[in-house]
Amino acid sequence: MNVKQFVKQHRDDWKSLEELLGTLRKRKNVTGPTIDQFNRLYQKAAQNLSYSQTYFPGEEVTDYLNGLVSKSHNLLYKDQITSGKQVRHFFSTTFIGLLLEQWKFVILALILFTVGALGAFLSVMNDPLHIYSILPPELSQGVDPSNLGKSDGQVDSSIMSASIMTNNIQVAFLAFAGGVTFGLLTVYMLVYNGVIIGALAALFWHQGMSYEFWAYIVPHGIIELTAIFIAGGAGLLMGYKLFVPGRFTRSFQLKEQAKRSVQLLLGTIPLFVIAGIIEGFITPAAISLPSKYIVALLTVIGLILYMVFGKLRLNKGVLQ
């Protein structure tokens, strides 16, 4: 693609973005769809700028796009001055925006996990001995449903919490980094983690202890799995763009999507910290099973509120 073809292909979008800049500055006719369109065109212009800087560094179009993206960025983030504000803005607004843009890949990660969990559950449900062929020996041989809850209140919660957070972040990083394998490693990580949960759930189901099992899983699991699905979605996004690069080269897509995927991965860190604290201090605590389910419900409400207020902040950031 030469520079004339590049300009011809994208100039209508650039013109639309310029018009939206004027509209948003005047705060006239600003609606939800208008804001969504501005975000979409801004992200696309930023990608066009990166491409132009790579392949047309000395052309006038590169300077034009640099100015257009800068003006759009300043309008979107004009109140973010200090590094502290930038960090708060990233987790409260930017991360939510990226997540809303890539939600399809997060849902795909959820589906892959569910497929693995459901397959393993049905297998072990039909024959409990299948658990020894599905799970690693150290895990399948070390699980005893009758011991569930016997060590409540007797573990070193601080050490457990740190260990759990480290392990979960490693899993998320592998799911994310698997994107460079065209998403194959990411798919494996998501399915495999689903298999573990599904097989264990079936084992406890056979013992009539499903209620007890999930009471020890869902308090931390809802936040933990949400973070893993986001990290997995970031890896799947990268893998998809490498597999189907479109009109851009794979090296360009890798560079562009890696930036976005890294931001998605960074956004999951607070979620893993919260999940680790819950799993280390609340899950093994000597509290009733209904109390553990109440904690799980509170995490669901917290996640929903986080998304809702993040979306509101995203819209407000453009209106201001």
Q: Hey, where are the domains in the chain?
A: 3-78, 102-319
Supply φ then ψ for residue 53, to 5 degrees. -65, -30
Contacting residues for 50 by C-beta, under 8 A, at least 6 apart: 252, 255, 256
Per-residue pLDDT at 43:
84
Per-residue pLDDT at 226:
94
pTM above 0.85, yes or no: no
| SS3 label, residue 276 | helix
Sign of CA dihedral 266, 233, 241, 20: negative
Supply angle C-alpha 148, 151, 157, rounded to 5. 115
Dig out the tokens for 121 from the structure. 């559950």
Among the listed residues 123, 138, 126, the one whose alpha carbon sits nearest the alpha carbon of residue 194: 123
**What is the DSSP code string of 119-147?**
HHHHHHHH-GGGHHHHS-HHHHTT--GGG
Per-residue pLDDT at 63:
86
| SS3 label, residue 99 | helix
**Residue ranges, the chain, pLDDT below 70:** 26-33, 76-86, 149-167, 247-248, 315-320
* CA dist., res. 248 & res. 30, Å (int): 33
| SS3 label, residue 316 | helix
